[in-house]
Amino acid sequence: MKYAAPVSYLKRFLFINNCIIRNMDIIIADRIKELMKEEKLNQTRLAEKIGVKQNTISAWVLGKKEPSIKSLWLLADYFNVDIDYLVGRKDFF
């Protein structure tokens, strides 16, 4: 006999995971904006520096898209921070 998780448990699990993912998007967007401000960079200049389009940077800072792992590497290398910092897993560079 298979064990079936109660529907309420599954709904709670999906809700929590969805909130975590949404929160992570916000953290990434906030961290990129914060680092851009510290470096006095606009979206166009950052895009040029890391080799992506300006509309990609815009989507990241608005939380519409999240950077790929390759883009996270580029951002981390450019700003000299850990990827963990960018995604909110730690609060210091």
For the chain, domains (ranges, CATH) are: 7-86 (1.10.260.40)
Alpha-carbon span 85 to 16, nearest angstrom: 22
The pLDDT assigned to 19 comes to 47
Query: And the tokens for 26?
Result: 């916000």
pTM across the whole model: 0.72
Walk along the chain (93 residues) and give the pLDDT tens digit of each residue.
Answer: 555 555 565 555 545 455 444 555 578 999 999 999 999 999 999 999 999 999 999 999 998 999 999 999 999 999 999 999 998 887 655
Alpha-carbon span 20 to 32, nearest angstrom: 18
The pLDDT assigned to 89 comes to 82
